[in-house]
Amino acid sequence: MRHFDFKNGEIYAEGVSLRRIAEDVGTPVYVYSTATLERHYNVFTAAFSDVPALVAYSVKANSNIAVLATLAKLGCGADVVSGGELVRALTAGIPASKIVFSGVGKTRSEMELALKSDIRVFNVESLPELAALNEIALSLGKRASIAFRVNPDISAGGHDKISTGKAENKFGIAWDQAEEAYAIAAAMEGINVVGVDVHIGSQIDDLTPFKAAIHKVGALIERLRAAGHNIQSFDIGGGLGIPYGDNRKAPPLPSDYGTMVKDMTRHMDVEMIFEPGRMIAGNAGILLSEVIYAKQGSDRNFLIIDAAMNDLIRPALYDAYHDMEPVKAPGAKYDEIIYDVVGPICETGDTFTKQRALPPMEAGDLLVIHSAGAYGAAQSSQYNTRPLIPEVLVNGYNYQVIRERPSIEDILKTERLPDWL
């Protein structure tokens, strides 16, 4: 569910008109709904309320500290993949005891920061990483609690670039090396083995690959315990998909996902750890843009908007589909026009959609790009010296800018001319 609905002939975010936000803040702009963030978190956690579980929101999906603080107030943990994300999570009020540190390339400085912060657990992805973590932990007089991220060679995810559980992917310990890795870790004085971690992909719309991964990892947990390892937690990662409005197969409901996970893991006597990101933030945000020109080409119509691929790269990077509609209701009777919706960047890849049926639109009209709360602002850039766009958080009838749009002068202040120029 998303709280972006028509009222008085135009789209509102909860109780706030998107037109008002555009007038006050300018476009393009990201707009997030507090009510949607809260509802998605509560629906997900409710699915596991009767078992030991930690929900650690995947910060990479949307890392704005206001979004994180909204979730922290509900008791949410965090899954981080960099030192910067760790600082964001702590700044937003997420306790270190609820923070999981994932990622295939953790640096020594990031490990040191996480150890000094006393985070809950490291998801270790290689033996060289394990050795570095052990060395740093010993130097600090600490023991690092770890789970190995194992790669079960199971294909899942809506696109090759977001499938992470195949043998060819860079993530995790190879399946046939997992038990040896645990034996090595158990012999290290700076390491405390506590769990097993698996993450097979993103935007998964079927329970089947989840079931395969749980079955495979469950058998591994039995073997590890038989070998003397004290496995207390099973981190199943994230990956549960959301509807993007493209009429594809509807992803499983969190309640159905929860029932499946509990049925398969209840006998394991482990704390479950989940890392949802997109499922919580995806449909909690929209990208609001203004039409610059409606252009008629030789064989198609173009709708040129002020948002671009640097603001929302998902269509260019993942061939992603996003539902779109005008902010102003078009009325009962109109003839749709087939548009290519494009941005102003000088690349053909700066295309949000091709041959999309929309009501007639013209310069100055506002367009909503839905399901942009995850992997939108977090992946944005200043390509073409286009400033990062503002982010706005709505709460009922109130809203506030939670990331400001920098000026061109602000961007240029970060650059320096060398002495010889």
Q: Are residue 11 and residue 60 in the same domain, yes or no?
A: no
Mean pLDDT of the chain: 94
Indicate whether 408 belongs to any domain.
yes
Q: Are residue 339 and residue 399 in the same domain, yes or no?
A: yes
Residue pair 373/244 in contact (Cβ under 8 Å)? The answer is: no
Q: Identify the three-state secondary structure at position 366.
A: strand
pLDDT band of residue 169 (cuts 50, 70, 90) is low
Q: For the whole model, what pTM was predicted?
A: 0.94
CATH number reported for the structural domain that contains residue 336 in this entry: 2.40.37.10
Residue pair 115/129 in contact (Cβ under 8 Å)? The answer is: no
Indicate whether 237 belongs to any domain.
yes
Total domain count for the chain? 2
How many whole angstroms from its chain centre is CA 180?
Answer: 32
Closest by CA to 97, choosing from 81, 82, 112, 75, is: 75
Residue pair 288/29 in contact (Cβ under 8 Å)? The answer is: yes
pLDDT band of residue 263 (cuts 50, 70, 90) is very high
Residue 162 confidence (pLDDT): 45
pLDDT band of residue 372 (cuts 50, 70, 90) is very high
Q: Among 50-54, 107-111, 204-208, 371-375, which is the least confidently predicted range?
A: 204-208
Q: Are residue 91 and residue 14 in the same domain, yes or no?
A: no
pLDDT band of residue 368 (cuts 50, 70, 90) is very high
Indicate whether 417 belongs to any domain.
no
Taking only the tens place, the pLDDT of each residue in 119-146 is 999 999 999 999 999 999 999 999 999 9
| In the chain, % of residues over pLDDT 70 | 95
* Token pair belonging to 419: 């002495």
DSSP structure string for 218-270: HHHHHHHHHTT----EEEEE--B----SS--PPPPPHHHHHHHHHHHHGGG--
How many whole angstroms from its chain centre is CA 167?
Answer: 23
Mean pLDDT for 21-47 is 98
Indicate whether 362 belongs to any domain.
yes
* Token pair belonging to 187: 């012999």
Taking only the tens place, the pLDDT of each residue in 390-405 is 999 999 999 999 999 9
Residue 250 confidence (pLDDT): 85
Q: Are residue 222 and residue 307 in the same domain, yes or no?
A: no
Residue 165 confidence (pLDDT): 43
Q: Are residue 66 and residue 103 in the same domain, yes or no?
A: yes
Residue 156 confidence (pLDDT): 60
Residue 168 confidence (pLDDT): 54
Which of 265, 281, 297 finishes a domain? 281
Residue 164 confidence (pLDDT): 47
For 79, the domain range is: 34-281
Going by their DSSP bridges, the two strands 351-358 and 398-403 should be labelled as unpaired
| In the chain, % of residues over pLDDT 90 | 88
Does residue 26 carry a pLDDT above 90? yes
pLDDT band of residue 331 (cuts 50, 70, 90) is confident
* Token pair belonging to 387: 């400033």
CA distance 67 to 185: 36
Q: Are residue 311 and residue 404 in the same domain, yes or no?
A: yes
Indicate whether 243 belongs to any domain.
yes
Q: Are residue 256 and residue 202 in the same domain, yes or no?
A: yes
* Token pair belonging to 73: 């107030």
Q: Are residue 148 and residue 70 in the same domain, yes or no?
A: yes
Which of 266, 281, 296 finishes a domain? 281
Closest by CA to 373, choosing from 282, 245, 275, 289, is: 282
Which of 233, 261, 281 finishes a domain? 281
Query: DSSP label at 406?
Result: P
Q: Are residue 343 and residue 399 in the same domain, yes or no?
A: yes
CA distance 377 to 138: 38
Q: Are residue 185 and residue 314 in the same domain, yes or no?
A: no
Q: Are residue 145 and residue 262 in the same domain, yes or no?
A: yes
Indicate whether 70 belongs to any domain.
yes
Indicate whether 418 belongs to any domain.
no
Going by their DSSP bridges, the two strands 4-7 and 10-13 should be labelled as antiparallel
Q: Are residue 118 and residue 219 in the same domain, yes or no?
A: yes
Catalytic positions, please? Answer: 346
Residue 286 confidence (pLDDT): 98
Q: Is-cis flag, bond preceding 28, omega within 30?
A: yes
pLDDT band of residue 157 (cuts 50, 70, 90) is low
CATH number reported for the structural domain that contains residue 59 in this entry: 3.20.20.10
Mean pLDDT for 350-357 is 97
Indicate whether 384 belongs to any domain.
yes
